[in-house]
Structure 1
């Protein structure tokens, strides 16, 4: 018993668990500083994970650069690593297990969970993964603690033949699979993915599995080229203002059956609605900030019967299926990783993710 109420297995590990660790701490708008902070104390039912890698998500960028959350916080929720300690009562995991962890897990029995609206569950909204301060993922630190409900139902085993970097995609691919299913993408349909950043390209990968005809758009030539290599039939530069015309020309004037929007800009929603056929679906993936307001022609919905759908975060009931896509290497997720930064350079990583170049896509933080 090396900590109160906790059975620690560090004695059997090659390296003892330190009392402090390095972490990228969000301190002020746009600024994350590497600091020395306490390693989280592990209590009954909890697990401590030594983080090996963590992806930088668009929500991290919004929270940090727009200050949608109040500092100090340690962000980062696309993480994978090794279990180094468990609390009493934890039977699923032991020291040395290679894992990834979700940061949200629903209760499974409330009004929303019964209707598969897991992200609206009160418990789901309570973050269960932390590196300190207000719980918010914690993958930008060397260690994170999974709270009991996450340790019990939100951790996934990672086999030896899957790298920790690959495993960081399990959480985002879950959110992507949920979105594609919600958009009801089916074989033979025409689907347009707007935005070929990391999220747009993951939407493309997962949608491709359903067998539609896939088109993409992005103002960056290299990103358009990448989408073609990943399965798009054609990719368009929307800068010329002819995206809708191009899609209609390939669908006998109808428009796309579904449009998946991976760009957080109100004007893109109007274009997406115009690109969708009457009765078509527009799935907004990136519209998840608390301040953006979107205006669109009412007739697009009220007369043309187009649907606007939202999809937020992960779904626990597809956890195994989504993980399988990554763990069995059914998706070329590593093809979109372009940059890796050590924790000491986390500010550079965040700046690049916030202001991407032609060459940059997915950015990872790696813990040596």
Structure 2
């Protein structure tokens, strides 16, 4: 089959790789009908995610048609149309039983590698390094799904692939970011990053009752899309973010702040962002937490900082004195997608949101390497890429 494979920093190739096969009784295999390039994939493209190996198949936003089912899988049948969560979960362990699916204790066969870095291992992820399981991803013609009687959700015929695809990751992740904010009617929510996850967080915050959303970015097309959702936009290259949020909130600060950027903010964000970049380049640091620092300082007393941007290692210069003395709450996670799927599928079916609004570029797997570069470079207004194998 054809698939997008990783061969080093900025080196993505469309290659022929072996077709997947059923390996365990609970497996299923789908013929991929749509997949996407995620902002998190750009961290791999940029070479900042450890434990990648040459030839790894990428991708964790995937849907398709079931073409094979293991003997122990009673949930799916051949011909079912499904969306696949990026988090791989057994459904039976301590965490899965409590709805914390991304903390699954069984789905990462390389958990010892993760434990060395993080103390404990999360669950496995599709197409996202050997530290998180070494699973082949879904930017391919076919995908093997472990524990397929737990993860995939069937998609009704009334929805198109593009309406349903983002249930795999960015819609639940953006929704979780807003859900973590414990929004009370009329709250002001500040969101750093108007990429795909940030766009979903903006709309989710309004769905959950926010009175105002302040959307922070510098890319014109992203800011325009945020304004179309009703957000107040803030270009960090034109205005000081802290000062502007103080103005908008009467000096109180935002009720909650969402970091939808993570470890690779724009280097022009501020002096500390430049220093972070130098530290990473000289191996004196692992991550660049400019946005997290700013979110903490902009959050009101006893507010919430919600973190869904990807970080991998240790963070320098975090103003914990501010957070502790002002009573901030931190909420963060790799999204337990399965926990949100039924509710979010229902919201799409009711017409409350159509996640396909974020798509700007479409192509084939053969177009994938060029579209990776276009997405990273934000060329020609590229916000979200969908691939049709």
TM-score with structure 1 length normalisation? Answer: 0.85
Task: State the 1:281 CA deviation.
Answer: 1.2
Which position in structure 2 is the counterpart of 1:31?
11
Q: Secondary structure at the match of 1:28?
A: coil
Deviates more, 1:194-203 or 1:182-191: 182-191
- Which deviations, in whole Å up to 9, do the C-alpha atoms of 1:113-160 show, x marking residues without a partner? 465543223225453768xx974352111001112x2x1111111122
Task: State the 1:171 CA deviation.
Answer: 1.8
Structure 2 residue aligned with 1:97, among 66, 80, 89? 80
Q: Are the structure 2 counterparts of residues 95 and 120 from structure 1 closer, same or farther at C-alpha, using a change threshold of 3 Å? A: closer
Which position in structure 2 is the counterpart of 1:277?
300
User: Could you say what the CA RMSD is over the residues aligned between the two structures, in angstroms?
Assistant: 2.4
Aligned ranges for residues 274-353 of structure 1 at < 5 Å?
A: 274-286=297-309, 288-291=310-313, 293-353=315-375
Which position in structure 2 is the counterpart of 1:70?
52
Structure 2 residue aligned with 1:249, among 233, 247, 250? 247
Which position in structure 1 is the counterpart of 2:279?
none
Which position in structure 1 is the counterpart of 2:282?
none
Q: Is the 2:175–2:200 contact (alpha carbons within 8 Å) kept by the matching residues of 1?
A: no
Q: Are residues 1:50 and 2:10 paired?
A: no
Cα distance in 2 between the residues matched to 1:114 and 1:79 = 24
Q: Is the 1:62–1:289 contact (alpha carbons within 8 Å) kept by the matching residues of 2?
A: no
Q: Is the 1:53–1:79 contact (alpha carbons within 8 Å) kept by the matching residues of 2?
A: yes
Cα distance in 1 between the residues matched to 2:14 and 2:314 = 31
Q: Secondary structure at the match of 2:295?
A: helix
Which position in structure 2 is the counterpart of 1:210?
208
Cα distance in 2 between the residues matched to 1:185 and 1:358 = 35
Q: Are the structure 2 counterparts of residues 261 and 66 from structure 1 closer, same or farther at C-alpha, using a change threshold of 3 Å? A: same
- Which deviations, in whole Å up to 9, do the C-alpha atoms of 1:57-76 show, x marking residues without a partner? 12222123215232221111
Which position in structure 1 is the counterpart of 2:187?
189
Q: Is the 1:32–1:347 contact (alpha carbons within 8 Å) kept by the matching residues of 2?
A: yes
Cα distance in 1 between the residues matched to 2:79 and 2:225 = 37
Which position in structure 2 is the counterpart of 1:14?
none
Which position in structure 2 is the counterpart of 1:6?
none
TM-score with structure 2 length normalisation? Answer: 0.81
Which position in structure 1 is the counterpart of 2:224?
225
- Which deviations, in whole Å up to 9, do the C-alpha atoms of 1:197-218 show, x marking residues without a partner? 1111011111110121212111
Radius of gyration: which is bigger? 1
Which position in structure 2 is the counterpart of 1:155?
152
Q: Are the structure 2 counterparts of residues 349 and 246 from structure 1 closer, same or farther at C-alpha, using a change threshold of 3 Å? A: same
Q: Are the structure 2 counterparts of residues 56 and 210 from structure 1 closer, same or farther at C-alpha, using a change threshold of 3 Å? A: same
Q: Are residues 1:165 and 2:162 paired?
A: yes
Cα distance in 2 between the residues matched to 1:139 and 1:350 = 15
Unaligned runs of 5+ in 1: 1-20
Q: Are the structure 2 counterparts of residues 169 and 110 from structure 1 closer, same or farther at C-alpha, using a change threshold of 3 Å? A: same
Q: Secondary structure at the match of 1:84?
A: strand
Cα distance in 1 between the residues matched to 2:314 and 2:72 = 44
Unaligned runs of 5+ in 2: 109-122, 266-288
Figure out how many residues of one structure are paired with residues of the other and give that number: 342
Cα distance in 1 between the residues matched to 2:22 and 2:93 = 28
Task: State the 1:260 CA deviation.
Answer: 0.9
Which position in structure 1 is the counterpart of 2:102?
119
Q: Are the structure 2 counterparts of residues 177 and 343 from structure 1 closer, same or farther at C-alpha, using a change threshold of 3 Å? A: same
Q: Secondary structure at the match of 2:221?
A: helix
Which position in structure 1 is the counterpart of 2:238?
240
Cα distance in 1 between the residues matched to 2:155 and 2:94 = 32
